[in-house]
Amino acid sequence: MTPGSRLRVFERTTSQPQLGVKPGYRWVYVWHWPIRAMHWWAAGCIVLLAASGLYIGKPYFMTAGEPSAHYLMGWARMIHFAAAGLLVATGIVRVYWLFVGNRYERWRALFPVHRQDWVHAYQILLKYAFVRPLEAPHYLGHNPLQQFLFTFVYLVVVIQVVTGFTLYGLANPGGFFATMFGWVAPMMGGLQLVRFIHHVNTWFFMIFIPVHVYMSLRADLVHREARVSSIVSGGRFVREDVPFEDV
């Protein structure tokens, strides 16, 4: 049985009244555990990468004594490289799940593919801008605007990985990473531009993470959409009388 068929079976079984479910609501399973685990591992890795990367670029505190006595920069670099490796591992899981996941996790969920999705994206943008908050359509998975945003985030992560491994290869000229990513710096116009892009993308995540947390909490507290709980439990409590575009 495929993950998608398991979801359909689970939706049929959870449409019946359940213990702890309020009348007029149902619990729908949306995100499988590899996606949820990948999300939290990736979030932790990005936080570690941002903190250690900013320190590597410009140490914001120093320690006294000989560097060999505390090895502070060495620890920062080790944390940075280890977090980068784990982030790549989560990316491999996500790519695999693009082909075996349910309809909310597959590659078709990365882009709005229908004309109506573009109309809905505009309506949802007006909702987020508090212009017409009550006229936006509802989605169980990512709505079209979120599809645009999260796909862009994936692209930024790819750029970070490529530029990061290019810089990592400088520590061992002629080694694996220098050989695999040696083409990046000449194509981008030099190592200084590679460092600059890597640094700017770090600040993108510094802005994106608090905005993402705020919007998720707002969806839970204001619109009662159970966005935060869904990435923990995998499912959402949804109202029976609310139509969803992606059911």
**Nearest one of 33, 160, 46 to 105, comparing CA atoms:** 33
Where are the chain's structural domains? 3-60+70-106+136-239
pTM recorded for the entire structure: 0.82
Per residue of the chain (247 residues), what is the pLDDT tens digit?
Answer: 454 444 444 444 344 444 455 677 788 889 999 999 999 999 999 999 999 999 998 887 777 777 667 788 889 999 999 999 999 999 999 999 999 989 899 998 888 878 888 888 888 888 877 777 677 888 888 889 889 999 999 999 999 999 999 999 998 888 999 999 999 999 998 999 999 999 999 999 999 999 999 888 877 777 666 778 888 888 888 878 778 887 7
Pick the CATH number of 3-60+70-106+136-239 from 1.20.950.20, 3.40.50.2000, 3.20.10.10, 1.10.1200.10: 1.20.950.20
